[in-house]
Structure 1
């Protein structure tokens, strides 16, 4: 039974770490989604933009403090945690007042121990006009991370499949009793 549990956890983790694409109107705010373990205290949260070498740090959080002095100067004062308490494993950040220069790939790295691990990679595209006509310069994607929705849906479907297999297994194992018995 424990092995069956791992069957559900592994696909869920793999689905949640997929790359996301976000399109935002220039001047709006972009939410960069990152979801990790809910029940573990993190030591380090780092959002980077690899093409900013050598200072690729967009957001740096360690020991329950934000360190703006580690950030690339272009991002200082423009990036904040979506949930400052980091509840429910949400390590998402908001990049405010985005411009065309913000276009690129961002990586969310979380350290539960000494070494941070890549959790999520997001591609942000900034447009001059709002492609979905939302009028507010906000993310044109939904407020729910796609990886979370797909992961939870996958987990529910797999649990339903497991339940069906268990029901079929139990029915086959049950001794068959005749519908009626004849006595002579």
Structure 2
């Protein structure tokens, strides 16, 4: 049974894995983070990145946990293709967690918007807007100019944007938004 994660699109062999504790800080060349990874309530280990431009790693509790995660990584896919490096799985799990938290933190009348790079993957830009999703779906929204200004401030280099509909990511098409 494959499960497609809603925010990263990564296909995983099961949906039991959860990040239950996450902490981050600015590192030398990016964000350093630690994420405690659990399988059905059992602690497996820590997903970690030191913020120095190196890969994201998984530090297991036991050799059995390592073996289980090797099998998990080998079964993961994006667009039907295996991921080229183990660190992509760890990064996708953390991205999925961070986005799910941002969705859960939305207040009534807010929408979540994310930036995409040229290859249509999330570029790290994530923004809660005080604009109802129904207005983001309209190209003639009276708030279009304000939304475009806000997103340019968040990330001037972002190629395109998507908004969370509550069940999937939808393209955001506002005049003046594409780079």
TM-score by length of 1: 0.26
Bigger RCO (CA 8 Å, 6+ sep) = 1
Identify the structure with the greater helix proportion: 1
Structure of greater Rg: 1
Identify the structure with the greater strand proportion: 2
